[in-house]
Amino acid sequence: MQSLLDNIYQEVFPMLGQGKVADYIPALACVEPRQFGIAICDNEGNVYTVGDAEVPFSIQSISKVFNLVLAMNHYGDGLWDRVGCEPSGLPFNSLVQLEYENGIPRNPFINAGALVISDMNQSRFASPHLAVRDFVRRLSGNPEINANRIVADSEFEYRARNAATAYLMKAFNNFENEVEDVLHSYFYNCALEMSCADLARGASFLANRGYSQCAGEQILSPKQASQVNALLATSGMYNEAGSFAFQVGLPGKSGVGGGIIAMVPGRFSICVFSPALNHMGNSALGVAALTSLTKHIKWSVY
Ligand code: GLN
C-alpha cells in the first residue's frame, strides 16, 4: 500500500503549481497553494501517508458527508422527504432549480441540500454547531479537531447566497429553525480543519459497509453506506461528477479547501489534499492523484 501511495505521489507531484486556490473569502485566499498530501485507511484500520498528509486544512463541503450521516442516524428514511437524491447539473450554490422544485433540494451535497440537513441536525442536538465536530472527532479518533473561527466568521460575513437559499426553502416550509442559527452551524462545519489522515480514518466506514474500525462502531447499516456512496458517485464532485465517474470511477466528495475523499468499497478510503483548484472547483492534483490511483489498482466501482 505504501508503495502505491509513493508511486501516485511521484507521478502527480510535477503538476504542483497548477490550479488556483479558492478566493471567495479572504481567509481561504491566503492558503499556500504548494501543498500536497495523501492518506489511505484500509479496512483493517491501518493508515498510510505521503507528503502533507498530517497538515490540517479547511474541509469545507466534505463536511456535508458527515452532516448527512449524522442526520441519517437520527431521521432514517424520513430524511428523504425533505431532500432528493438526484444530481443537480448546476453549480453547488445555484438557486434556480430550488424555486422550480418547490424548495426541495436535489441532493444533500449541493448547498441547499446541506442547509436542509443542517436544519434537521439543528432541531435534534443541544449544541447543534458542535454535533458534526464531535462526530468527526469520534470517527477519526482525533479529539483535537476544531473549526477555524476566522474562516467560519468570514463565511458568515459573506453569507448572502446561502442565506437566500435557506430563506427560499423556509418560504416553501422546508426549514424549521431560524436561518441565521442554522447558517452559523453550517459554516462552523465547513470551517472544520482536518488532515488527510483524519479524513481517511473518518470516512473509512463508507468503504467498510458502514463499520468504523477506528471508532469501533457500526455508523450506518451496510445498505445506508452503499446509498451514501451512490450519492457521492452521482453528486459528490460538483459539476465534475460525470467526468470524475468517467475518469476515476469512485464515490468521492470534494471541498473548496482542496480536499477530496474517495472510497474503494470493500478495501479502503483515501483522502488527497492540494489547495489549488481546477476550473470546476475540485483540487487539481486531487483529481489527478485519484485518476492515477484507479489506473494503478485497475479497479473502479463500475
Ligand atoms: N462554505 C462553502 C459555501 O457554503 C462551501 C464551499 C464548498 O466547498 N463548496 O459556500
pLDDT per residue, tens digit, the chain (302 aa), is 999 999 999 999 999 999 999 999 999 999 999 999 999 999 999 999 999 999 999 999 999 999 999 999 999 999 999 999 999 988 888 899 999 999 999 999 999 999 999 999 999 999 999 999 999 999 999 999 999 999 999 999 999 999 999 999 999 999 999 999 999 999 999 999 999 999 999 999 999 999 999 999 999 999 999 999 999 999 999 889 999 999 999 999 999 999 999 999 999 999 999 999 999 999 999 999 999 999 999 999 99
Residue with cell 503538476: 15
pTM above the 0.90 mark? Answer: yes
SS3 45: coil
Q: Which residues, judged by CB distance below 6 Å to any ligand atom, belong to the binding site of ligand 1?
A: 60-61, 92-93, 111, 155, 162, 190, 255-256
Tell me which of 57, 93, 132 to substitute to probe ligand 1's pocket, judged by most ligand atoms within 8 Å of the beta carbon. Answer: 93
Structural contact between residues 38 and 53, judged by C-beta atoms closer than 8 angstroms: yes
Specify the ligand 1 atom closest to the Cα of 257: 8
pLDDT at residue 90, rounded to an integer: 87
Rounded Cα–Cα distance for residues 295 and 144 (Å): 35
Among residues 121, 191, 131, 192, which one has the least CA distance to residue 156? 191
- At the topology level of CATH, where does 2-297 sit? Beta-lactamase (3.40.710)
DSSP structural state of residue 95: -
In this structure, the number of other CB atoms found within 10 A of the CB of residue 144 comes to: 10
Burial of 181 (0-12, 13-18, 19+ CB in 10 A): middle
pLDDT at residue 88, rounded to an integer: 92
pLDDT at residue 92, rounded to an integer: 87
Among residues 157, 65, 154, which one has the least CA distance to residue 113? 65
Residue nearest to atom 9 of ligand 1 (CA): 61
What DSSP element (H or E) covers 97?
helix 96-100
Phi/psi region, residue 16 (left: phi>0; alpha: psi -120 to 50; beta: rest), is beta
Residue 20, C-beta contacts closer than 8 angstroms, at least 6 positions apart = 33, 276, 277
Residue with cell 473502479: 300
Given the cut 0.90, state whether the ipTM is greater than it.
yes
Q: Cell numbers of 124, please?
A: 435534534
Tell me which of 155, 256, 278, 282 to substitute to probe ligand 1's pocket, judged by most ligand atoms within 8 Å of the beta carbon. Answer: 256
Known binding residue 63? Answer is: no
